[in-house]
Structure 1
């Protein structure tokens, strides 16, 4: 896993309301937060974390930085992320929500060109239970274990993590890829990371209605993932009658042969069923499915 207790982390926008909440939570969990960045607040200290006006002022003092957690206002997030990438930081977590779509397009292109892992925006970030917190996941809901948890939603990630924890099933990692229209990393990217992670034995993917992320994930799992996967789709009881996805997702679905109802709960559940992936009806069903797969790791046949 690329995130460890030794990872050196900075918080950009540390003196913003979100940063003031996020940074102490991370530090209290044991995350190695070496500095915070907030223009105009250089020289201050927040809960033992030194604050600098600019990232370039911090690096000569704290050394190489592994990850940046961005808590700036949305219109400042692009500049903060580009500053981090220019400084050689290759893991950038965007907690901020409402980042302008064109800013995200620009940032994703830059991240791809520099092989930077981009998480978010509108994400609680990443937690490796018992080791490191990069964001605002409630740590008490998680416990170390072997279940990799990937979600689009923040609160659903917490709910499923707590459901697993209460059932005695710890997590190897919890990730929310983000809830904004354009996000930096995808389900397939994280599925591949967890496929290669020695600590992860079972993957739980939590999706929701709208867009085509889950259909694409189901196709990718069938083609490239050997580890057992369980899916849960939120919003299955949402009323039909208005399309939750956007036009681009609908067009993509026609090209990918996902079907005309792309974005609906039925479309997503059917995609997982075709890929022979177990789908939980409700979060409380997930632990039993995980236990079943842990006992029969070869349950899913190829094809």
Structure 2
């Protein structure tokens, strides 16, 4: 069991004919069961073409009907990416992973509003994607650094996801599923949603949670962990040294009214029973210590 995706997932690439979509679809298809999993591409201007043997359809609905796909990954440029998410939601896919960075916040607010009451789950935007090691990867993370195991990883930061995984691998710990949820202020799944899925997953023994300054998602998640989580959780927050009042690189990393600082997040997490580290080089060791 893994969460959200496995070797039976069937994936559509929206934006497959662009350079980025083409490159990463090839990398994902060459990983583990990717050849069976990546079944379609979408570009309304190029239906009937194919990209390295993957057929291109005019719409997500058509691709879904022809191939039975249940997941979509989006590499569409920022001005059109929210509409691409809307299209996948309308086609009632189970999961949409949006890699695109720089989608206007207003577009995402509209898209999130339209998603209410729909069954589709969204990962991202502005995220590296999701991987179930040795089964399937969807996104831009390097597959070779992962190995199958029993640690769940959820992170708001793309590169810190890879760092966390590298540290786990160094001490011989594989992962059940790794999810980069993205750093944008308006996004899909939050830490809390992913932690709940890991809590219910029989094949995840512990969770490594990487957060960032800005917003209150990590605090909300920590409070839920305190009351409901049956597995150990280890946490790190990026941005401890960020100067107060300065806007950092990520769109979501905005500290407002004293809320959302790394210090505050770490204090809430610690008080809720999450083992925390302030040193990013210690994430793997700390997780091993709670097993």
Give the TM-score, by structure 2 length: 0.91
Q: CA deviation at 1:248?
A: 9.7
Q: Does 1:175 align with 2:179?
A: yes
Q: Residue 237 and residue 195 in structure 1: after superposition, are their counterparts in 2 closer, same or farther (change >3 A)? A: same
Distance in 1 separating the partners of 2:225 and 2:81: 32
Pick one of 4, 8, 14 that aligns with 1:2: 4
Gap runs ≥5 in structure 1? 251-259, 295-303
- Residue 272 of structure 2 aligns with which residue? 275
Distance in 1 separating the partners of 2:112 and 2:147: 32
Distance in 1 separating the partners of 2:190 and 2:15: 25
After TM superposition, the structure 1 = structure 2 runs for residues 1-303 of structure 1, keeping only pairs within 5 Å, are 1-29=3-31, 30-31=33-34, 32-62=37-67, 64-242=68-246, 250=256, 261-294=258-291
SS of the residue 2:116 aligns to: helix
Q: CA deviation at 1:17?
A: 2.5
Distance in 2 separating the partners of 1:284 and 1:243: 25
Distance in 2 separating the partners of 1:143 and 1:65: 26
Distance in 2 separating the partners of 1:28 and 1:197: 27
Distance in 1 separating the partners of 2:188 and 2:157: 14
Q: CA deviation at 1:247?
A: 12
Provide the aligned C-alpha RMSD in A: 2.0
Which digits, 9 at most, give the CA deviation of each residue in 1:172-192, with x for residues without a partner? 111111112211111111110
Gap runs ≥5 in structure 2? none
SS of the residue 1:113 aligns to: coil
Distance in 2 separating the partners of 1:60 and 1:205: 37
Q: From the CA coordinates, give the structure whose radius of gyration is larger.
A: 1
Q: CA deviation at 1:53?
A: 2.4
Q: Residue 113 and residue 248 in structure 1: after superposition, are their counterparts in 2 closer, same or farther (change >3 A)? A: farther
Which digits, 9 at most, give the CA deviation of each residue in 1:16-54, with x for residues without a partner? 232112211111112301000012222222222111222
Distance in 2 separating the partners of 1:164 and 1:100: 35
Q: Residue 234 and residue 59 in structure 1: after superposition, are their counterparts in 2 closer, same or farther (change >3 A)? A: closer
Instruction: Pick 1 or 2: higher relative contact order, CA cutoff 8 A, min separation 6.
Output: 2
Q: CA deviation at 1:114?
A: 0.8
Give the TM-score, by structure 1 length: 0.88
Q: CA deviation at 1:246?
A: 8.0
CA contact 1:104–1:184 (8 Å) conserved in 2: no
